[in-house]
Amino acid sequence: MDWPNGAGFAAAITFDMDADSLIHAAGPDGWKNAYAVSMGQYGPHVAIPRILETYRRLGMKQSFFIPGWCVQTYPKAVEAILEGGHEIGCHGWIHENPANRSADQQAEDLDKAIEALAAFSGYRPRGYRAPVYQITNDLPGLLLDRGFTYDSSMMADDDPYALDVSGRKLIEIPPHWGIDDWPPFAHYEEIGYMMPVRGPSEGLAPFFEEFVAAKKDGGLWHAVWHPFLTGRRARWQVVEEWLETALTEGAWFATLGEIADHSAKLDAEGGLRVLPFPAYEGPQT
Ligand SMILES: [Zn+2]
């Protein structure tokens, strides 16, 4: 892909600040699980200030996806993110799985999440990432109705592409499980997630290999991290050290909003892959 100002490739770190929304979304008794709540609280209280300080020191502006409930519960963290000039995208209301909600409920969840952020800061998100990537066939249309320009939940490319949603375009900035820190670092039995936790350097190595591959291909490197996982002390020190070099490799480090705007420009010139959405109108046999 072509990138602005002659950059050879593009790079973005995104943090999904789920905090303890996950344990509440898992069931009505989540609030009683003090350990799980505390594991999530680490994100807004400890990891976010740490991450923001690194970004400030290195002059980086990046993207954060935050459920509306977390905006209400952790306003200080949200304020600090906005003060740092970073982007906030929508990440559902309380990390509910959209696939378990009706189209009307999905619209309600979205409106509630947008309203929480707008009421708090006047800031309206332009980007969306579905909780656990569970985007539905309803959501792209609902996002376009609400002025969103991009989604980051679908995985049909390494690099940004466009969805043609009944004649309207939504930019897709694809994540995938290989650039997500749950597989190497999450151990969360309460929500059915049990994986062997990797050491900091071992768990982060695949992300750095992806960066080298994106550079070679002139593509996009994109990480999907969580403050309570990659923002923990030893892991973040590995990231910080890596960033010192990574920032000198000729990448355009940008927010997903900036990458979406650039992708929309390429699309207007016919330079972006376009996929019709939804992929199917009914059951396939
Ligand atoms: Zn999440």
Per-residue pLDDT of the chain (285 residues; tens, 9 = 90+): 899 989 999 999 999 999 999 999 999 999 999 999 999 999 999 999 999 999 999 999 999 999 999 999 999 999 999 999 999 999 999 999 999 999 999 999 999 999 999 998 899 999 999 999 999 999 999 999 999 999 999 999 999 999 999 999 999 999 999 999 999 999 998 888 888 899 999 999 999 999 999 999 999 999 999 999 999 999 999 999 999 999 999 999 999 999 999 999 999 999 999 999 999 999 999
In a domain, 6, yes or no: no
Q: Which CATH number does the domain housing residue 168 bear?
A: 3.20.20.370
The position carrying tokens 């906005």 is: 82
Asked if residue 3 belongs to a domain, the reply is no
Give CA–CA dist 133/39, Å, rounded: 21
Query: Which among 53, 109, 93, 110 is positioned nearest to 77, based on CA atoms?
Result: 53
In whole angstroms, give the CA distance from residue 102 to residue 183. Answer: 29
Q: Is residue 259 part of a domain?
A: yes
| Any domain includes 54 | yes
Q: Is 48 exposed, middle or buried (0-12, 13-18, 19+ CB in 10 A)?
A: buried
Q: How many domains does the chain have?
A: 1
Q: Is residue 285 part of a domain?
A: no
Q: Report CA(6)–ligand 1 centroid distance (Å).
A: 33
Ligand 1 center from residue 268 Cα (angstroms): 31
**pTM, 2 dp:** 0.97
Q: 124 in a domain, yes or no?
A: yes
Ligand 1 centroid–CA 22 distance in Å is: 8
Task: Report the distance separating Cα 215 and Cα 220, nearest Å.
Answer: 8
Domain assignment present for residue 282? The answer is no
Provide the domain limits for residue 218. 26-271
What is the distance between the alpha carbons of residues 50 and 232, in angstroms, rounded to a whole number? 9
Distance 9 CA to ligand 1 centre (A): 26
Residue 244 belongs to some domain of the structure: yes
